[in-house]
């Protein structure tokens, strides 16, 4: 049962990191195209936040998996 709990927790963390990246991406789009931060949008700030969101959604889960694989190999 401990293995199931470990994998369930890892999956939840994995999905939370990916969800935060997607939400960051959409926040960046909102900043670019709406009056959320300033009137008329703020394309330069929004673009930076969009890029950070994409990097977080795509690469952070890969880094987590690599760290977990290394942790599992060290435990053996």
Confidence at residue 62, expressed as pLDDT on a 0 to 100 scale: 95
Write down the residue that tokens 């401990």 correspond to: 2
Confidence at residue 51, expressed as pLDDT on a 0 to 100 scale: 98
3-state secondary structure 12-38: HHHHHHHHHHHHHHHHHHHHHHCCCCC
Task: Compute mean pLDDT per 10 residues along the chain, 76 residues long, and list them.
Answer: 89 97 98 96 97 97 95 88
CB atoms within 10 A of CB 46: 20
Confidence at residue 76, expressed as pLDDT on a 0 to 100 scale: 77
Confidence at residue 7, expressed as pLDDT on a 0 to 100 scale: 93
CB atoms within 10 A of CB 31: 22
CA pair distance 45, 31, nearest whole angstrom? 7
Domain ranges of the chain: 12-75
Confidence at residue 1, expressed as pLDDT on a 0 to 100 scale: 58
């Amino acid at each position: 049962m401990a293995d199931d709990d470990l994998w369930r927790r890892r999956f939840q963390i994995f999905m939370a990191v990916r969800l935060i990246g997607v939400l960051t991406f959409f926040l960046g789009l909102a900043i670019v195209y709406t009056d959320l931060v300033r009137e008329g949008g703020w394309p330069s700030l929004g673009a930076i936040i969009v890029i950070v969101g994409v990097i977080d959604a795509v690469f952070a889960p890969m880094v987590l998996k690599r760290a977990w694989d290394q942790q599992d190999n060290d435990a053996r």
